[in-house]
Structures are given as C-alpha cells and as structure tokens.
C-alpha cells in the first residue's frame, strides 16, 4: 500500500499543502513546532478516522478557519482509492471514498493501512495498560471491522454503566432505580466482551510470533520476547460459542455488582485487559533496561505491520515521528533499512543526523517551516 498524493487545506497550521510522494522513503525535516507531525497526522487520519495523537476533530482545524479538508490518493496494488475527509467546527465530519459518502467510522477504518511510531511508542512496554490496549485495539481494528463494531458497543455500555455507578455513589440515584439498568448494561457489555476477548487472544498470538522475530532482528542479543495476554474477565480458554462465553462473563459481572456499587466504578471487563511483555522469562515492565524496553516496543509495532500483511496481503505505510532520537545510531539505521525494504516510509525529524549517510533510492525530502512544506 502506498500514498501517491495528498492535498491538505487548513489542517492544523498547514494552510494549503500539495504533495506527491516517493513510493519508498519520504523525509520531512524541520524544527519542532513547525508542522512536521501535523503532516503525518493528516496523512494518517483516514486510517483511524481520528487523530493518532488523540486530538479532537475540532482541534485539527487551522486557527481562524471554520473547516479543514484533506484528500489522499492511495494505491493498493493496481487499485487507486480517492479518500476525502472534511471537518468543521460544528462537529460534522464528512468522509468520501471514490466519491461515495461514508457515514460511519467503521466504513473508513482500514481502507488505508498504517502503523505509527512516535515518542509514545517507546513507552508501550513501561507505560500504563491503556497504552497496550490502544496498541492492540488499533491493530485489530485495522484488519477486522467486526472487532471495531464490538469495541464501540462495549465502550458505550461501559460509559453508561460507569455513569449509573457514579450517580448511585454520589446519591443522585437510588439503587432501586438503577439496578435494572445495571443488569441491562452488564448483559450488553458481556455480549460484546466475548468476541472482543477471543479476537484479542488470536491477534496477540500472531503478534507474539512476529514480535519475537522482530526483536531478534533488531537486537544484538538473541533473547526471546514473549507476550502473555492478561484477560480482565472470563476464563483464559473459553470453550463453546460466543453466546456461552458471554453468559460466563455476564455471571462474573452480575456477581461483582455489589462491589462495583460500593466503589462507584466498573471493576471488570475488557477495559481491564493487559499484556505482559517478557524477555527471557523476565517482565520488561519491571526489570527491563532502557534499551530492552525500547527495542521491545519497536518490535511490537513491527509485529503490527506484519499482521496486517499476513491477514490482508498488503504492506502498511509506516510513519516515524521523531522516533530515532530515542534509539542509538546502529538500531536506528537497522530499523530504517529493514522497514524501507518492504514498506513506504515517512520520517519526520528535527535532526538531519537521524538520516545522514542514508541514501535510499528514489527518496523524497521536504523542509517544513511555519506550516510551509518545501521540496528539497
């Protein structure tokens, strides 16, 4: 998969940008705060139908403008997709693929396959469990639209349930008036948690093998990286159907309801899942060195790219946003050369030395200054 061209209008500090890309390596150079990451954010937006930086849509609109617009030409084999996204300050989002309007986020996610490496990536191992959940949620959603549907529904149920529990704890509602609603949302959550957990277990099994291979390739030490899925609810090896598993999860959720009411929050469910990342039998989160945890984090992102290729048969576009300052020179160059062999790559950096001496064939380089992108 490759990005061919992009047209950006009033996105962040980018007033009007027209770009044509190399099918190989694309480098954006410029001081911090001038718009390099904004370019990557715009190019990646259709992959998630949201900002990879977690920004709200309204925050993506250039100051003083009422709307922003982006248009990408994306090649997947011989097929070329025309993807358009428009955002306005009223909260409206307009999306089109080949001229046809797309009404739901799930219909756009995955059309453009990408993997983003940014400064948060290196915290994937030592950071909180929400970072690892975001990693596998985004990874699975890019190859499985059903997963995203279940995830959105589970999140809605959790939001409603959490609101009820807070109201009871604060005395805004009596237990009698919300008990039936809690039962309803527990049933809704259990129905969607079952397929979520199963899909996560399958995806993480694939990621474990790909991550192990990537770690050995990037590291001078031939150590074995392992992933252990830590489920927040349900048996680790559920038998039967999704309906059977949902009933098992529902029994757990109903059993702990009194504790949840007392504490005023949700205590169990897919929102408590995590992954233990282990190197040669030792937990990296607790005992890993700086180099080991960063190499492991990069390996997990590379594993995500390999799964996309294995399940969809396309190589995702890779985005590197100021990541090489976190790695030593040897590992940086090894990562650059390895990924550029099979993927279209975008690198944003404030340090020209991050790519100095590396001259991949057909590479394109731009300078970004105060929102103006200029070819070098």
DSSP 85-149: EEEETTS-EEEEETTEEE-SHHHHTTSS-EEEE-GGGGGTTTS-HHHHHHHHHHHHHTT-HHHHH
Confidence of residue 376 (pLDDT cuts 50, 70, 90): confident
Q: Are residues 281 and 355 in the same domain?
A: no
Domain boundary among 292, 313, 334: 313
Q: Are residues 92 and 12 in the same domain?
A: yes
pLDDT digit string, tens, across residues 197-224: 999 999 999 999 999 999 998 887 788 9
> Residue 155 pLDDT more than 90?
yes
Domain boundary among 296, 313, 330: 313
Three-class SS state of 312:
helix
Q: What is the mean pLDDT of the chain?
A: 93
Q: Phi and psi for 282 in degrees, rounded to 5?
A: -115, 135
Q: Are residues 272 and 325 in the same domain?
A: no
Q: Are residues 144 and 289 in the same domain?
A: yes
Domain boundary among 313, 344, 359: 313
User: Which residues, 6+ apart, have CB-to-CB distance to 229 below 8 Å?
Assistant: 200, 201, 204, 236, 273, 275
Here the CATH number for the domain that contains residue 84 is 3.40.50.300
Q: Are residues 104 and 226 in the same domain?
A: no
Q: Are residues 109 and 129 in the same domain?
A: no
Distance, in Å, from the CA atom of 221 to the CA atom of 241, rounded to the nearest integer, reads 42
Helical segments of the chain, H only: 36-48, 105-108, 129-141, 145-170, 175-218, 242-255, 257-263, 284-287, 290-312, 329-342
Distances (CA, A) of 5 to 19, 68, 83: 6, 17, 11
Please check whether residue 372 is in contact with residue 33, taking contact to mean a CB–CB distance below 8 angstroms: no
| Residue 235: predicted pLDDT | 65
Q: Are residues 320 and 302 in the same domain?
A: no
Bridge partners for 366 per DSSP? 28, 375
| Residue 17: predicted pLDDT | 96
Q: Are residues 234 and 254 in the same domain?
A: yes
Domain of residue 100: give its range.
Answer: 1-113+315-376
| Residue 144: predicted pLDDT | 94
pLDDT digit string, tens, across residues 230-277: 998 876 666 678 889 999 999 999 999 989 988 989 999 999 999 999
Q: Phi and psi for 230 in degrees, rounded to 5?
A: -110, 95
The reported pTM is 0.93
Here the CATH number for the domain that contains residue 265 is 1.20.1050.90
Q: Are residues 55 and 176 in the same domain?
A: no
| Residue 170: predicted pLDDT | 81
Domain count along the chain: 2
Q: Are residues 73 and 155 in the same domain?
A: no
């Amino acid at each position: 998969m490759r990005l061919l061209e992009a047209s950006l209008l009033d996105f962040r500090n980018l007033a009007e940008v027209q770009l044509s890309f190399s099918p190989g390596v694309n480098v954006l150079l410029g001081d911090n705060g001038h718009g390099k990451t904004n370019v990557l954010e715009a190019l990646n937006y259709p992959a998630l139908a949201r900002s990879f930086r977690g920004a709200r849509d309204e925050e993506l609109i250039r100051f003083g403008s009422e709307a922003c617009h982006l248009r990408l030409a994306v090649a997947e084999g011989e097929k070329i997709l025309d993807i358009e996204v428009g955002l306005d300050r009223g909260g409206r989002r307009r999306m089109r693929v080949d001229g046809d309007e797309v009404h739901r986020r799930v219909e756009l996610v995955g059309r453009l396959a990408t993997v983003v490496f940014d400064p948060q990536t290196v915290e994937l191992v030592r950071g909180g469990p929400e970072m690892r959940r975001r990693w596998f949620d985004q990874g699975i959603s890019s190859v499985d639209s059903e997963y995203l549907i279940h995830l959105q529904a589970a999140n809605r149920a959790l939001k409603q349930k959490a609101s009820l529990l807070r109201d009871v704890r604060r005395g805004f509602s009596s237990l009698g008036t919300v008990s039936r609603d809690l039962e309803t949302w527990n049933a809704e959550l259990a129905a969607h948690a079952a397929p979520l957990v199963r899909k996560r277990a399958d995806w993480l099994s694939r990621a474990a093998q790909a991550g192990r291979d990537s770690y050995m390739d990037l590291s001078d030490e031939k150590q074995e990286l392992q992933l252990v899925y830590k489920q927040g609810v349900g048996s680790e090896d559920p038998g039967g159907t999704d309906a059977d598993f949902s009933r098992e999860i529902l029994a757990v959720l109903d059993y702990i309801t009194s504790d949840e009411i007392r504490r005023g929050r949700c205590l169990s469910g897919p929102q408590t899942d995590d992954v233990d990342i282990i190197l040669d039998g030792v937990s990296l989160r607790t005992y890993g060195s700086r180099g080991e945890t960063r190499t492991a984090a990069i390996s997990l992102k590379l594993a995500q790219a390999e799964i996309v290729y294995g399940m969809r048969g396309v190589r995702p576009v890779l985005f590197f946003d100021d990541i090489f300052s976190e790695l030593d020179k040897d590992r940086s160059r090894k990562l650059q050369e390895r990924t550029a062999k099979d993927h279209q790559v975008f690198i944003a950096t404030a340090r020209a030395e991050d790519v100095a001496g590396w001259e991949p064939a057909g590479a394109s380089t731009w300078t970004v200054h105060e929102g103006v992108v200029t070819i070098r």
